């Protein structure tokens, strides 16, 4: 996918040179000479990242950055400025900029910064999406429709409590969970540490899963709790 970079700078030479260099590196670019022009472009296009000069003719790039964040616009922003004072850098980061570069900058460093910010943003975006399905052993669990099935399409009938317990483990594969932690996650409150309902529930869940697979999916840790041992693949749908 070709990433789209919006360059906002009132210096026409900087806009031209930066645009040319980014396009040579495989990016698509748009340019704006002011905050107002940037705002107009954002009405019709959604760039993957904004290179935003701090000193612009109509108002500060810091003001624009803050305004975008307050309106819920989370497009990554790298601030550009000829000023070197730390206060501007700190303010820029505090109001929601993702990075900060002082002009004149080395073009290769700019590319490295852009790629780093895009990687962080894309990773965070993916992680924010709800999981649409979990795959483990021979099973697929779909949380939205609350369905568990085998690789052959056979449904596995679970009670609501059993389904919720299984999802807790699928969200935390390999992590040792005490009874108290599981009770807290399922009931949303602290419970009697001697409460054995989790043991009973897990025993039923194990028995139902064992009808379709011989794999040991849960490990019991003496005086510790339980650990889900199977490899889990969490899939998120594209948005």
56-72 pLDDT, tens per residue?
999 999 999 999 999 98
Residue 156 has pLDDT above 80, yes or no: yes
For residue 126, the model assigns a pLDDT of 52
CB 2 within 8 A of CB 28: yes
Question: Do 8 and 124 have their domain in common?
Answer: yes
Residue carrying the six token digits 């999916």: 217
Number of CB atoms found within 10 A of residue 57's CB: 9
CATH number assigned to the domain comprising residue 142: 1.10.10.10
Q: What is the pLDDT of residue 129?
A: 66
Residues 89 and 103 in one domain: yes
Domain boundary among 87, 103, 128: 128
Say whether pTM exceeds 0.75: no
Predicted pLDDT at 131: 84
pLDDT category at 189 given cuts 50, 70, 90 is very low
- Which residues form the domain of 36? 4-128
How do residues 3-48 score in pLDDT, each as one tens digit?
A: 999 999 999 999 999 999 999 999 999 999 999 999 999 999 999 9
């Amino acid at each position: 996918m070709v990433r789209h970079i919006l360059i906002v700078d009132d210096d026409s030479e900087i806009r031209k040179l930066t645009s040319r260099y980014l396009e040579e590196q495989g990016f698509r670019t748009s340019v704006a000479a002011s905050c107002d022009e940037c705002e107009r472009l954002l009405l019709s296009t959604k760039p993957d990242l904004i290179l935003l000069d701090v000193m612009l003719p109509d108002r500060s790039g810091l003001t624009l950055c803050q305004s975008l964040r307050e309106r819920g616009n989370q497009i990554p922003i790298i601030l550009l400025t000829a000023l070197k004072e730390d206060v501007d850098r700190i303010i820029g980061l505090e109001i929601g900029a993702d990075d900060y570069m002082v002009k004149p900058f080395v073009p290769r460093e700019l590319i490295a910064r852009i790629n780093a910010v895009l990687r962080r943003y894309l990773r965070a975006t993916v992680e924010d999406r709800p999981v649409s399905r979990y795959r483990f052993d021979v099973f697929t669990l779909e949380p939205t429709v609350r369905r568990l099935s085998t690789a052959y399409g056979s449904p596995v009938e679970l009670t609501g409590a059993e389904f919720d317990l299984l999802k807790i483990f699928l969200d935390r594969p390999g992590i040792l969970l005490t009874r108290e932690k599981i009770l807290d996650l399922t009931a949303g409150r602290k419970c009697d540490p001697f409460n054995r309902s989790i043991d009973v529930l897990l025993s039923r869940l194990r028995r139902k899963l064992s009808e379709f697979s011989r794999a040991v999916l849960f490990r019991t840790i003496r005086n510790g709790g339980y650990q889900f041992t199977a490899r889990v693949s969490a899939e998120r749908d594209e948005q």
